[in-house]
Structure 1
Amino acid sequence: MMETDKMSTASSVGTAERRPLLQALVIERRILFGCTCFVGLCTFLWIAAVCTEKWVHIEGGSGIYLHTGRYFMWSDTGVWEMCRYVFQPNKTLTVKDAPQNTTGMAGNIVTRCTNYLAQPPMDNGRPIDPAYDVNIANYVRTMISFGIISLFVMAMGCGFSAYTFHNPRYMFKRLAAGIHFISTSCTFVVVQVMMSSVDHMKKNVRFIYPERAYHYYNISFFLAWFVVLVNLFAAASFLWYSRKRKGDKAATDELAMADEPTIIGR
């Protein structure tokens, strides 16, 4: 059986003296409530970002000739899948007679998607799909792992943030701040690994990122950055407002009692 002994040092200062503290408390509650709502929203934004292929767009302009006889037009890359759009000429072209681009040529745009989580078909120990790269597959596994972890941590952080309004004790705010910082770190890792994978494609995988092509980051990438910044702001806000406020430093007697030392014994 546990007995809790709380000793309050809350002072009975007047309402006029506590009015500035009450105003500051209202601002604090609004900021923390806004952070909690935005973190909850970011949980769904993170799901949308991870499940879409609009992270990186690689542009090939009017077509870049590939050794397969097709022309690379553009590609959209997501966390685990990349879809390439290539131009398939109506006639077979060799390297010598292939034009520089697809201007004036007859053919069709063909979509080729590569899922880096699935085991690719092999031929003599090598993937049949020339777009499948082992290093990129490793990047994808890292992003998926941290993406799933960050999703659960964000949901848990939203729950702990909401609990701080029920129990205003400073230790719960610090716990919420720590959880938000962990989700910030996990989502930031996903963003950084995506940037590293694009750099690897540009330097080493010419079939995916041919010469003369260029890339830019798309809507899902910026959604991910938004999630990172919101979680970082939430972590900083909960940490800032987790200071102890006892006695006449507290806006109400209830808050003063909540931050009093608690002795737990048998």
Structure 2
Amino acid sequence: MIRDVSTSTIGREDRKPAMDAYMFQRRVLLVCSFMMILSLIVWIIAISTDRWIIISGNGGIYIPETRRFFMYSHSGLWRHCRITQLPNALKNATVARNFTSIAYQSPASVNDAKFNITDVEFVKSFLTHEVTFPLQNFTDAAKERMFAHWIRNEQELFQEFKKAFWSLELANEKIALTPIDSKPIQVNPLDVPGLEAQKVFGQALQQVVVDNLTYFFVIPIPAQRAMFNGWNEKRLVPKLYWPYVRDLDIPAYVMNEHRVILQLIPPKPPKKGGIKNGYDYIYTSRCKYIEMFPSASSLKMDPGFDDELMDYIRTQASFACITVFVMCLGTVFTFYTFMNPRYMFKRLAGGIHLVSASTCLVVIQVLMSSVEYTKEHLFYAYPDGAELTYGYGVWFAWFTFITNVVCGLLFMWYSGKKKGSKAPTDELAMADEATIMGR
């Protein structure tokens, strides 16, 4: 049977409805093509910005681990910014201070300070003490030796003394050092007379003279047992007290008799920092690019991230890049459909648009899952009482997703074959005919 594919007998007037429909289709698909270019630009802007997740601290949420007020943070797929205020009690202010408040905070500063006193006379004298193992009790000489080995980074000897210290001084207190699962009790540091009269901190509240100034420090009892007599009079030792206690695995918090943590909470800071209620609030803004494959040590130093969260971040970053590639490919095929009207190219372009929409949706869904995980497991990054809002990066991503879906469906809808009398011209009718592939 011979098939007649000719449309030459169809007059111009008979083809006018088909031509009008075809021209309307071309206009719609041309608009879709330019919308795809716009959505590609918007997507690149979206993944480049750090305004996807915005967490607000509602005027300041105190983070005991860093002694800072969390103000707000904003982050994207590649960069994270955190704005905080550090309350520093003025020297002449009568307030109760955590002993960590005078410590070096960064590992680099701690290492520099340890290096500066490695060869100081009192450290050398500590090393001359004769201490014989096994120890019967942990004397002041043993405490000085342990501190000197820590200063000189002699880990093997330090660990030996540390094991003996825990065995002799804290063996019966491991359970007592573990707080119960209860919300910490907030304590006003401005009411020093009341804290002393009511013995809120017990023996943990100590008057300590450092650099000829008297301070009221809250020092946990196990941390007091770890230090030698006269530690507050030695150069740089007060600033190294907290890093030293931390390496001894002694917690910095103090608990009441019910093992509930007592937290000193300074008054909330002013919006842009300044002096208030005996505190000088230092406004800081820290932004950094997210390290996609951090080492175990660097991950441990950043309480805002963990291994599972990094899996979320790597997933959304990789799919963001895949989306850019697929959208670029889809844009090329979109404009190619105007050069070659065959139906299969429209279907190919529509299919690619739907694929790019799905990869874009993966990025959005993984991002939202990472937020839920952060809220449940990472208090430092998402403190209790913080509020979450999504920035314009997320709205740009939704715009890209919707544009890809709509354009993909339109290309699929207008990809039907136009043969015979349904075609506006003979050329278009031939383009949609079946093609026999020869050698």
TM-score (norm 2): 0.56
1:224 paired with 2:397, answer yes
- Is 1:99 paired with 2:266? yes
Match of 2:287 in 1: 113
Provide structure 1 residue ranges, at least 5 long, that are not aligned to the other structure. Answer: 1-5
- 2:412 matched to which residue of 1? 239
The aligned counterpart of 2:60 is: 63
Aligned AA for 2:311?
Answer: N
Amino acid at match of 2:385: R
Compared CA separation, residues 114 and 137, structure 1 to 2 (3 A): farther
Q: Which residue of structure 2 aligns with residue 3 of structure 1?
A: none
Matched, 1:193 2:366: yes
Q: Which has the higher mean CA deviation after the structures are superposed, 92-101 or 244-253?
A: 92-101
State the match for 1:81 in structure 2: 79
**Post-superposition shift, 1:97?**
2.9
In the TM superposition, what whole-angstrom CA distance separates every residue of 1:94-148 from its partner, at most 9, and x where no partner exists?
463313632545312212335433444654x862121122222111110111111
Q: 1:54–1:76: 8 Å Cα contact kept in structure 2? A: yes
Aligned with 1:262: secondary structure? coil
Aligned residue pairs total 260
Change (3 A) 1:64 1:168: same
1:137 maps to what in 2? 310
Indicate if the aligned counterparts of 2:357 and 2:405 stay in contact, CA closer than 8 A.
yes
Q: Judge conservation of contact 2:87–2:266 (CA < 8 Å) in 1.
A: no
Q: Which residue of 1 aligns with 2:329?
A: 156
Structure 2 match to 1:41: 38
Deviates more, 1:218-227 or 1:125-134: 125-134
* Long gaps (5+) in structure 2: 91-96, 99-261, 271-275
Distance in 2, matches of 1:191 and 1:30, equals 31
- Structure of larger gyration radius: 2
Q: Is the 8 A contact 1:10 1:257 kept in 2?
A: no
Aligned AA (2:73) = S
Native 8 Å contact 2:292 2:314 kept in 1? no
CA distance in structure 2 between the aligned counterparts of 1:251 and 1:186, rounded to whole angstroms: 37
Counting aligned pairs with the same residue, the percent is 41
Structure 1 residues 239 and 100 mapped into 2: Cα distance closer, same or farther (>3 Å)? farther
Task: Give the Cα–Cα distance (whole angstroms) in 2 for the partners of residues 113 and 130 of structure 1.
Answer: 15
Offset of residue 18 of structure 1: 1.7
Kindly tell me: are residues 175 and 118 of structure 1, through their superposed partners in 2, closer, same or farther at Cα, counting changes over 3 Å? closer
Cα distance in structure 2, aligned partners of 1:42 and 1:76: 23
User: How far, CA to CA, are the matches of 2:367 and 2:41 in structure 1?
Assistant: 20
Question: Match for residue 213 of structure 1?
Answer: 386
How far apart, in 2, do the equivalents of 1:143 and 1:11 lie?
55
Q: Which has the higher contact order (CA 8 A, sep 6+)?
A: 1
* Rounded Cα–Cα distance in structure 2 between residues aligned with 1:236 and 1:227: 14
Letter in 2 for 1:201: T
Which residue in 2 is equivalent to 1:258? 431
Separation in 2 of the partners of 1:157 and 1:164?
11
Distance 1:107 1:167 in 2: 66
- Could you list the per-position Cα deviations for residues 138-165 of structure 1 after superposition, in whole angstroms to 9, with x for gaps in the alignment? 1111011111111011001000010000
TM-score, with structure 1 as normaliser: 0.91
- Contact 2:55–2:73 (CA<8 Å) still a contact in 1? yes
Q: Secondary structure at the match of 1:152?
A: helix
